Amino acid sequence: MKTLVASAEASGQTYQQGALRVALGYAVFAALWILFSDQAVSLLFSDPLAITRASMIKGWLFVAVTGLLLYVLVGRHLRQIQDGYARETDLLKTRQRSLDLLAAIADHSEDAIFAKDLEGRYILFNCAASRIVGKPEAEVLGRDDLAIFPAGQAVILMETGRRVVASGRAETNEETLDTAQGPRVFLATKGPLYAPDASVAGIFGISRDITERKQVELSLRDSEKRFHDIVEASADWVWEVDALSRYTYVSESVESLLGYTPAEILGKTPFDLMPPDEALRVQAAFAAIAAQKLPFRDLDSINVHKDGSLRHVWTNGMPIVAADGTLLGYRGLDRDNTARKIAEQDLQNARDMLRAVINTIPDLIWLKDVEGRYLACNARFEAVFGAREADILGWTDFDFVSPEMAERFRERDRAALEAGHPVNDEEEISLAGDGQRECLLTTKAPYRDSRGAVIGVLGIARDISGHKRVEASLRERNEMLERFNRATVGREIDMIEMKKTINALSRELGREPPYPLAFLPQGDREPTP
């Protein structure tokens, strides 16, 4: 608008200058004509009548020439006026199109667009602004903020307007206003509005509703605070590395894990904190993972504490990938696994010791689940079964012995489970590859987990074949001794009877009996004479 007014003023000045030039040109020509034509008539004619005729002709010629000159000058000036008018018309049309376009943009903008005069009264209020306040434009124009917003909010808005007018500079502020949709947050830019004379005539403003964005920012801030609180409270060490595996973020927990402060870790790589051989191993494993931009879990490594001791660490990580697929780095957390590693090693040592002890026991020991599948066995069991433990585990008796024998084993397993206590049995079986039969005394008992639930059957079998052979030998010897005793006793009885007869004959002959028989029971002794 300011440019349009200046252009109109310039065009008016151009028209005035053109008219002045036409008048001056005509006056100069007329003066020169009169001066030179009179002198020419005086020089050419001396007869008064001739002079009179010449003056008349000169006058008519002056009229014709000056009329033609005036026509040319006026026509030129008119053309200049017409050209100027056409230019002004085109300029006005262009400006009007711009104004129409600006008005259309303002009316279709989702942002509130407005203008105020120096008294703070609205002189422009677009459709978006009307929707926001819930009032039509006609009810707003000519009124100030006190008529639209609560007094407290209106005072702040008007103070901002006065500040912009006083400084002559635009300001951008966040404003919280009560609207037809409830409380909303706006990002408002306000600047000075200039009159044609370049003086400040008011202010203009553009306000964008950023309520949702502010809510997202608040949620993000809350989320970041929660994340920060969790990170700081966590015993795990949270970290982030760039594409070169250099630490760019380290949580405070690293100090409790490795003894270093975050400042001492930043810029280093995880491999700088490991023994050389371990660093090479882990670096190779991580390179293979990073090449595919994959997440990873429970990557086990050994780190060196600041005091020189070793720490077992479990690492979990997620790739950080740019929009174009470029790997920017990884973020994740490290967990101190030292205590667990020590416990696992102690447990493994205990298991190894227990297995060594079990494998030296001459008894057969095995463990089945409730479905009859083998879970463990010792070396003696392997020898009797004629198979390695790896070939036995996961299989059932039906995979190794006849169906009849397997079903018999299964029935005894069920009996132990149903009884709920150890059950003893004795059986002669043949399992080994050499077909040798062995007599086993078997004890089967329910096997329970730490909560007391039955998870299988534990079996222990002792080879009593030798005992059986000794018992058989003893039985045979006892039988033989009994036969010998029976034979000896029979002869002894016959001898006693014979002695009794000799003693009797000796008495009849008047001799002393030669054989004393007092050791015999009272009823078996000889009669006294």
Confidence grade of residue 342 (pLDDT, cut at 50, 70, 90): confident
pLDDT digit string (tens) for 394-444?
999 888 888 888 898 899 899 988 988 888 887 666 555 555 566 777 889
Dihedral angle at the C-alpha atoms of 134, 138, 139, 144, nearest 10 degrees?
100
Tell me if residue 462 falls in helix, strand or coil: strand
Fold of 365-463: Beta-Lactamase (3.30.450)
Token readout for 362 is: 């001459």
User: What is the DSSP track for 491-515?
Assistant: HHHHHHHHHHHHHHHHHHTT---SS
Of residues 505 and 280, the one with the higher pLDDT is 280
Token readout for 327 is: 């790997």
% of the chain residues with pLDDT over 70: 74
pLDDT at 326: 94
pLDDT surpassing 60 at residue 284: yes
pLDDT at 78: 76
Least confident of 148-157, 322-331, 492-501: 492-501
- Burial class from Cβ neighbours inside 10 Å (0-12, 13-18, 19+) for residue 75 reads exposed
pLDDT digit string (tens) for 228-274?
666 565 668 889 999 999 999 998 889 988 999 999 999 999 999 99
Confidence grade of residue 2 (pLDDT, cut at 50, 70, 90): very low
Confidence grade of residue 1 (pLDDT, cut at 50, 70, 90): very low
Q: Are 409 and 364 contacting, i.e. CB atoms less than 8 angstroms apart?
A: no
| Cα radius of gyration rounded to whole Å, the chain | 62
pLDDT digit string (tens) for 163-217?
999 999 999 999 999 998 899 999 999 999 888 888 898 999 999 999 888 888 8
Q: How many C-beta atoms lie closer than 10 Å to residue 400's C-beta?
A: 17
Q: Domain 110-215, what architecture?
A: 2-Layer Sandwich (3.30)
pLDDT digit string (tens) for 480-521?
777 766 667 667 777 777 777 877 777 777 778 877 776 666
pLDDT at 207: 92
Q: Is the model's pTM score more than 0.75?
A: no
Q: Are 520 and 496 contacting, i.e. CB atoms less than 8 angstroms apart?
A: yes
**Long-range contacts from 1-8, C-beta under 8 angstroms, 24+ separation:** 1/95, 1/196, 2/194, 2/195, 2/196, 2/198, 4/91, 4/92, 4/95, 5/196, 6/196, 7/88, 7/91, 8/88
Q: Single out the residue of 513, 487, 488 nearest to residue 499, CA to CA.
A: 513
pLDDT at 198: 84
pLDDT at 137: 87
Q: Single out the residue of 288, 334, 280 nearest to residue 312, CA to CA.
A: 334
Q: How many C-beta atoms lie closer than 10 Å to residue 345's C-beta?
A: 11
Scan for tokens 């039509």, then name that residue: 136
pLDDT surpassing 80 at residue 90: no
Token readout for 121 is: 């009264």
Token readout for 153 is: 């909010």
> How far apart are the C-alpha atoms of 312 and 49, rounded to whole Å?
139
pLDDT at 325: 92
> How far apart are the C-alpha atoms of 425 and 396, rounded to whole Å?
20
Q: Single out the residue of 67, 64, 44, 65 nearest to residue 54, CA to CA.
A: 44
Residue 449: partners with Cβ closer than 8 Å, 6 or more residues away:
455
pLDDT at 159: 94
Q: Please give the backbone phi and psi of residue 250, each rounded to the nearest 5 degrees, phi first.
A: -145, 130
Token readout for 403 is: 């169906």
Least confident of 152-156, 371-375, 499-503: 499-503
> How far apart are the C-alpha atoms of 290 and 176, rounded to whole Å?
47
Q: Which CATH class is domain 234-343?
A: alpha beta
The number of residues in the chain equals 529
> How far apart are the C-alpha atoms of 94 and 89, rounded to whole Å?
8
pLDDT at 33: 65
Of residues 494 and 319, the one with the higher pLDDT is 319
> How far apart are the C-alpha atoms of 116 and 126, rounded to whole Å?
12
**What mean pLDDT value characterizes the chain?**
81
Query: Up-side HSE of residue 459: CA atoms within 13 Å toward CB?
Result: 30
pLDDT surpassing 70 at residue 40: no
pLDDT at 511: 78
Residue 1: partners with Cβ closer than 8 Å, 6 or more residues away:
95, 196
DSSP letter (8 states) at residue 134: T
Q: In what order do the strands lie in the sheet with 112-117?
A: 122-125, 112-117, 200-209, 182-194, 171-179
